[in-house]
Amino acid sequence: MIRVLAFDVFGTVVDWRSSIIGELERFGNRQGVQRDWSSFADSWRAGYGPAMDLVRRGELPWTRLDDLHRRILDELLRDVEIQADEDDVDHLNRAWHRLAPWPDAVKGLHRLKERFTITTLSNGNVSLLTDMAKHAGLPWDCVLSAEIFGHYKPDPEAYLGCAQMLDVAPDEAMLVAAHPSDLRAARDAGLRTAYVDRPLEWGQPGRHRVAFESGEFDVVATDLHDLADRL
Amino acid sequence: MIRVLAFDVFGTVVDWRSSIIGELERFGNRQGVQRDWSSFADSWRAGYGPAMDLVRRGELPWTRLDDLHRRILDELLRDVEIQADEDDVDHLNRAWHRLAPWPDAVKGLHRLKERFTITTLSNGNVSLLTDMAKHAGLPWDCVLSAEIFGHYKPDPEAYLGCAQMLDVAPDEAMLVAAHPSDLRAARDAGLRTAYVDRPLEWGQPGRHRVAFESGEFDVVATDLHDLADRL
C-alpha cells in the first residue's frame, strides 16, 4: 500500500529548460547582450551533477543548490564575457525558484493529493522549492529536500530520510521521477518507483533520454494524469 | 520588511483541547469506560513541556513529539487503569494529527498566504504537521518543525533554523503564536513577533492565559483575520 508520493522536481514536475532560457533571454535584453542562451541553459544544468558530486564525495562541505547554481553561473558568465551587477546576477540565479510547471503538473498533483501525501524530494533547497511552489501553484503537502537530510540524491539517506520523516516504511513511499538513475537509487533504498516520461526536458523530443528495462519500475506513466489513472 | 510568517500550531492555529477531548470520548466509548476526559486531556498536554525539556537538556536523545506523546499517554492510561489494544492506543496517540482548526484559521491563512510565505514552526514532528494540514485544510507553503532542526522551541536553533532555511534574515521572519514564552524566545533570536489571543485554548475563557507587557510584541491580534488586517 502506497501512502506517500515523493516527487523529483526539476524535469519531472517543472520544465526547467524553457523557463531558464526565457529568463536568460530577459537577462540578456536587460544587459544589452546576445548569446546562445539555449546552450548556456544546458551548460548551467550540466554543471549541477559534478558540483553536487563534490558535496557527495565530501570534497566540499554542505552547500545549498542555490549556491552551487551560483558557482556554475559565475563561471559561465566569465566564459561568455558578461559582467553584470550583483543584483542582476542574483535575480538570474533565482530563476530556478520561478520555473514553470509542465502543463499537466498542477492538475495532476491536485488529483494525486486526494489519495496520497504528496511531497517534494528534490536536490533543490527548501527556499527554492517553497518559492517555486508559490510561483507555480504546486499543492505540496510538505516540502522535503536534500537540504533537510544533508545528503543529495542519489545518496540513500535522502530516500530513506523522506520515508522516515513521513513515518512510513520505505515500500509505502513511491518516488516519481523522469530519470532512471534517480528511480534506481530509490528502488535500491526500498522505495516503490514511478517513471514519468518527459521527452521534451532537453528541448528536442527524446534528447538525452535514458533507456530502461521493461519492468524495472513499478509504474511507467506518460504524465501526472496518467500516473493518477494508473494508481 | 516581513517575508515569512512562521506559525506556532498547537493552540495558535488548532484547538487541540476540544479535539483531544472528543477523541478521548470516542476512545472511551469504544473501550466501554468512562473517565474525566477533560482532565485527562489537560494532563496529556501538561506532560509535553517536561518531556520535551528532557530532550532539550540532553537527558533523552532526540525523540519525536509523537513518541513523547505516547510515553505520556501510556503513563496516563496506567494511572486511570485502562488497558487497550496497541492499535487503539496508537490511533488515540495520533489524535494530535487530526486536530481541528480554530474557526478563523483556514481563511485567515489563505489571506496571509497571498502576501507572505507561511510555514509551520512547531514542535510537532513533520508527519504530524503534514497529516494535520491535510486533515484540517491548512494551506502551508512549507512544513518546518523542531524535528528538522533537531531542537525543540524555545531553543534559539529552531527560530534561526527556520529563517535560514527560508533564506531570510531573522528580522524578515515573524513568529505568530498564542504563547508569550514562545514569542519571547523568537524575539531574543531576532525574529519579529505577533501575539494571537486564544482565550479558549484551555477551555474556560482566559484559563492559563499568560500576561505580557504592552509593546512587548510587534503585533497583537485577536485572530488570524485581525492579523491579516494589521499586516
Digit-coded pLDDT (tens) for B92-106: 999 999 999 999 999
Q: B-chain residues within 8 Å CB-CB of A119? A: 130
Alpha-carbon span B228 to B6, nearest angstrom = 14
What average pLDDT does the segment A91-104 reach? 98
Q: Which of A130, A144, A166 sits opposite B141 (nearest CB)?
A: A130
Q: Is B116 found in the same domain as B91?
A: no
Q: Is A162 found in the same domain as A175?
A: yes
Chain A: give the shortest CA distance to residue B85, in Å.
Answer: 21
- Which B residues 82-141 touch A at CB under 8 Å? 117, 119, 125-127, 129-131, 133-134, 140-141
Residues of chain B with pLDDT > 70, as a percent, come to 100
**Which pLDDT score, from 0 to 100, does residue B73 have?**
98
Chain A: give the shortest CA distance to residue B71, in Å.
Answer: 18
Q: Is B198 found in the same domain as B167?
A: yes
Alpha-carbon span B176 to A213, nearest angstrom = 51
Q: What is the pTM of this model?
A: 0.96
A-to-B residue pairs, Cβ atoms closer than 8 angstroms: 53
What average pLDDT does the segment A127-136 reach? 98
**Which pLDDT score, from 0 to 100, does residue A138 have?**
98
Residue of B nearest to A119 (CA): B130
Chain A: give the shortest CA distance to residue B107, in Å.
Answer: 17
- Its domain, for residue A59, covers 16-97
Instruction: Check A130 against B166: CB less than 8 A apart.
Output: yes
Alpha-carbon span A124 to A147, nearest angstrom = 8
The sheet with strand B117-122 has its strands ordered as B142-145, B117-122, B4-7, B173-177, B192-196, B219-221
| Amino acid identity, position B228 | A
Q: Single out the residue in A73, A97, A121 at which a domain terminates.
A: A97
DSSP conformation letters of B162-216: HHHHTT--GGGEEEEES-HHHHHHHHHTT-EEEEE--TTTTSSTTTTPPP--TTS
Q: Which of A117, A130, A166 sits opposite B142 (nearest CB)?
A: A130
Cβ distance A178 to A196 under 8 Å?
Answer: yes
Number of separate domains in chain B:
2
Q: Single out the residue in A97, A126, A145 at which a domain terminates.
A: A97
Q: Is B197 found in the same domain as B92?
A: no
**Which pLDDT score, from 0 to 100, does residue B206 have?**
80
- Which B residues 10-69 touch A at CB under 8 Å? 66
Q: Is B215 found in the same domain as B107?
A: yes
**Which pLDDT score, from 0 to 100, does residue B207 have?**
85
Chain B: give the shortest CA distance to residue A165, in Å.
Answer: 6
**Which pLDDT score, from 0 to 100, does residue A206 have?**
80
Mean pLDDT of chain A: 97
**Which pLDDT score, from 0 to 100, does residue A204 have?**
87
Q: Is B78 found in the same domain as B27?
A: yes
Instruction: Check B165 against A126: CB less than 8 A apart.
Output: yes
Instruction: Check B127 against A167: CB less than 8 A apart.
Output: yes
Measured in degrees and rounded to the nearest 5, phi and psi for residue A86 equal -55, -45
- Which A residues 142-171 touch B at CB under 8 Å? 142-144, 147-148, 165-167
Q: Is A106 found in the same domain as A27?
A: no
Q: Single out the residue in A97, A131, A149 at which a domain terminates.
A: A97
Q: Is A125 found in the same domain as A208?
A: yes
Question: Beta strand pairing status for B173-177 and B192-196?
Answer: parallel
Higher per-residue confidence, B145 vs A210: B145
Instruction: Check A166 against B133: CB less than 8 A apart.
Output: no
**Which pLDDT score, from 0 to 100, does residue A139 have?**
98
What average pLDDT does the segment A151-167 reach? 98
What average pLDDT does the segment B52-65 reach? 96
Helix ranges, A32-104 (H): 37-46, 48-56, 65-79, 86-93
Chain A: give the shortest CA distance to residue B190, in Å.
Answer: 19
Q: What is the ipTM of this complex?
A: 0.95
Q: Is B169 found in the same domain as B65?
A: no
Instruction: Check B117 against A129: CB less than 8 A apart.
Output: no
**Which pLDDT score, from 0 to 100, does residue B50 have?**
96
pLDDT exceeds cutoff 90 at B23: yes
Q: Is A220 found in the same domain as A130?
A: yes
**Which pLDDT score, from 0 to 100, does residue A133 have?**
98
Instruction: Check B126 against A142: CB less than 8 A apart.
Output: yes
Which band of pLDDT confidence, cut at 50, 70 and 90, is reported for residue B131? very high
pLDDT exceeds cutoff 90 at A208: no
Distances (CA, A) of B206 to A168, B146, B198, B227: 39, 28, 8, 20
- Please report, for the domain that includes residue B86, its CATH number: 1.10.150.240
DSSP letter at B123 equals S
Alpha-carbon span B45 to A29, nearest angstrom = 59
**Which pLDDT score, from 0 to 100, does residue B204 have?**
87
pLDDT exceeds cutoff 90 at A209: no
**Which pLDDT score, from 0 to 100, does residue B205 have?**
86
Q: Is A118 found in the same domain as A82?
A: no
| Amino acid identity, position B108 | G
pLDDT exceeds cutoff 90 at B24: yes
Which band of pLDDT confidence, cut at 50, 70 and 90, is reported for residue B56? very high
Q: Is A218 found in the same domain as A135?
A: yes
